[in-house]
């Protein structure tokens, strides 16, 4: 009898240790804000004509695999937004800042009469974090010559346990696209049965799709189409916002929208 009790206790202890090891394997994510910026020939952006760049973004402040994966995706986003060249590898934000100013200097040298300053500002922040999800928002303002600048709002959503960059299929059921299209048609006065491009939009193959950028805030979700994504630049951006109650049945995880 005593042997049976001891055996049972040993099994319980082993399972308990296994659970503790698993908990320790799950990385606790903490974020800090990093800012890298510079201006051309140390000019002051506050005084007008000044070429400058400022990148402010969240950094997972740990050494684990999840943190490294998230940080790499953030750096990749910054590079794809700021850099004009096809790089073989992901450049550090500091390198991106230096390259931006070098590109401007090259342009100004090649065209001596070129006096138009460039600017690039990206501000990123964590807008939601829980045990399953980390959601980040990035606002971008850029001007590198041309008729107008570039303004956008972008979102990156991560699996908090693995660091995987989440896509629409990871977050919502397929039925959510149908609901979003119905709401989009109502909001944009597009009759049911008419082409989704009936009022000047240019959805590819005349088929509605969710935006590339979906923001997940505490208690709500934002669908954001940037300029040029589904309509001409002059039309600007388009946004739809849903509360938790409106879309709970389409969520693939209960913790996606914590209150």
Q: Output the DSSP codes for 32-73.
A: EEEEEEEEGGG--GGGSS--EEEEEEEEE-S-SHHHHHHHHH
pLDDT surpassing 80 at residue 20: no
- Reply yes or no on whether the pLDDT at 255 is more than 80: no
Angle between helices 93-110 and 65-82 (to 10 degrees): 10
Domains of the chain: 31-159 (3.30.565.40), 168-250 (3.90.640.20)
Residue 67: band (very low, low, confident or very high) from pLDDT cuts 50, 70, 90? very high
Burial degree of 2 (CB within 10 A; 0-12, 13-18, 19+): exposed
Q: What is the mean pLDDT of residues 127-134?
A: 95
| Gap between the Cα atoms of 63 and 117, Å rounded | 39
Angstrom distance (rounded) from CA 202 to CA 217 = 28
Does the CA dihedral 96-97-102-103 come out positive or negative?
A: positive
pLDDT given for residue 10 in this prediction: 52
Digit-coded pLDDT (tens) for 29-65 = 999 999 999 999 999 998 888 999 999 999 999 889 9
User: Which value, to the nearest 10 degrees, does the dihedral of the CA atoms of residues 57, 58, 59, 62 take?
Assistant: 170
- Answer whether 130's CB lies under 8 Å from 255's CB: yes
Take residue 169 and report the two structure tokens written for it: 């299929």
Whether pTM > 0.85 for this model: the answer is yes
The pLDDT score that the predictor gives to residue 24 is 47
**132-169 residue pLDDT tens:** 999 999 999 999 988 788 899 999 999 999 999 999 99
244 pLDDT band, cuts 50/70/90, is confident
């Amino acid at each position: 009898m005593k042997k049976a009790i001891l055996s049972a206790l040993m099994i319980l202890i082993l399972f308990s240790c296994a659970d503790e090891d698993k908990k320790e394997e799950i990385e606790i994510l903490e974020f800090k804000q990093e800012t890298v910026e510079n201006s051309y020939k140390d000019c002051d952006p506050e005084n007008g004509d000044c070429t400058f760049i400022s990148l402010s973004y969240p950094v997972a402040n740990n050494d684990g695999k999840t943190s490294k994966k998230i940080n790499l995706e953030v750096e990749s986003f910054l590079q794809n937004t700021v850099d004009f060249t096809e790089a073989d590898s992901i450049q550090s934000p500091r390198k991106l800042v230096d390259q931006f100013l070098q590109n401007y200097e090259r342009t100004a040298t090649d065209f001596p009469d070129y006096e138009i300053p460039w600017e690039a500002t990206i501000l990123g922040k964590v807008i939601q974090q829980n045990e399953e999800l980390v959601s980040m928002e990035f606002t971008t303002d850029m001007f590198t010559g041309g008729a107008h600048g570039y303004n956008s709002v972008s979102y990156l959503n991560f699996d908090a346990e693995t660091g995987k960059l989440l896509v629409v299929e990871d977050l919502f059921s397929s039925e959510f696209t149908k609901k979003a299209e119905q709401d989009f048609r109502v909001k944009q006065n597009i009759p049911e049965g008419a082409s989704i491009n009936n009022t000047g939009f240019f959805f590819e193959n005349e088929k509605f799709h969710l935006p590339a950028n979906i923001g997940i805030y505490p208690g709500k979700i934002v669908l954001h189409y940037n300029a040029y994504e589904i309509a001409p630049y002059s039309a600007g951006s388009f946004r739809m916002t849903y509360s938790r109650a409106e879309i709970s049945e389409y969520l693939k995880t209960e913790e996606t929208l914590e209150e």
